[in-house]
Structure 1
Amino acid sequence: MPHVYPLRVYYEDTDMAGIVYYANYLKFIERARSEYVREIGIDQTALKAEKDVAFAVRRLEADYVEPAQFDDVLTVETSVEAITGARMVMEQVVKRGESVLFTAIVTLVAIRLSDGTPTRLPAEIRRIAR
């Protein structure tokens, strides 16, 4: 089952026409991923402090299907599509009710913060996120 993150569109999320500005969908799905990771028990602050590891977006493929508008109530559904030793691929879908507004396939990688180089996802994360 996907993780579901609810949100409301505020005035600050929209352009002059009252339609969600395209880049704000990336903020919506980032928030949803952060909540998903928190909910499954991954403490990103501890990961950083104890293992010098953080997640970074390596690739994102997005499809804008329909516009969201001011005051819409939306949900972001997040699910893990694939996980390997070095990356996690997630599908994220923004909906208004049952209508799909935006979809994204996001590839995350782990990096060492001390030097910015790629590293393996910690084993506990690979196990938890499955």
Structure 2
Amino acid sequence: MTTVFKREMRIYWEDTDAGGVVFYANYLKFFERARTEWLRELGFSQELMRLQDGVMFVVGSTQTRYLRPARLDDLLQVSVELREMGRASMLLFQQAFCGERLLAEGEIRIACVKSQSGSAQHSDLLPTRMPAALTRALEPLNP
């Protein structure tokens, strides 16, 4: 299995400012979408994990470098690479390219938390172990 997952994404008007340049915070959205598709390719739906396992993922921290702008109609390749895996979190390295041009990159720490859907305690979101099946699927990707 490849250690770097890649997903293509087109830049639309809603992603840009009045000058047709991607708003910097939207790279975090692109990274999020790529992470979701990465998990899907591994066989995991975040909604099913929330409903069946009672867990969900939240971003604990990000460190992002913006190098070049993306523009309206650009086709990006957004990557996900597992850098570190713990029992309740993982550190991912992500990049956004347009062709050969590196536009943005960052490290994102994702935490697994208990999902208290429908409960008054929903805001507590306490850290918890990732589901065993996900841990097994990620183990071959763990450096």
Q: How many residues align?
A: 130
Note the alpha carbon deviations across 1:40-61, whole angstroms, 9 max, x for none: 0112222111221001111111
CA root-mean-square deviation: 1.0
Q: Any stretches of 5+ residues in structure 1 without a counterpart?
A: none
User: Counterpart in 1 of 2:53?
Assistant: 51
Query: Which 4+ stretches in 1 moved above 4 angstroms?
Result: none
Query: Does 1:34 find its partner at 2:43?
Result: no
SS of the equivalent of 2:14 reads: helix
Paired residues of 1:84 and 1:126 also in contact (CA < 8 A): no
Alignment counterpart, residue 89 of structure 2, candidates 87, 90, 94: 87
Deviation at 1:33, TM superposition (A): 0.4
Aligned residue identity for 1:120: R
Report the TM-score, using the length of structure 2 for normalisation.
0.87
Query: Any stretches of 5+ residues in structure 2 without a counterpart?
Result: none
Which structure features the higher share of strand residues? 1
Which position in structure 1 is the counterpart of 2:12?
Answer: 10
Amino acid at match of 1:122: P
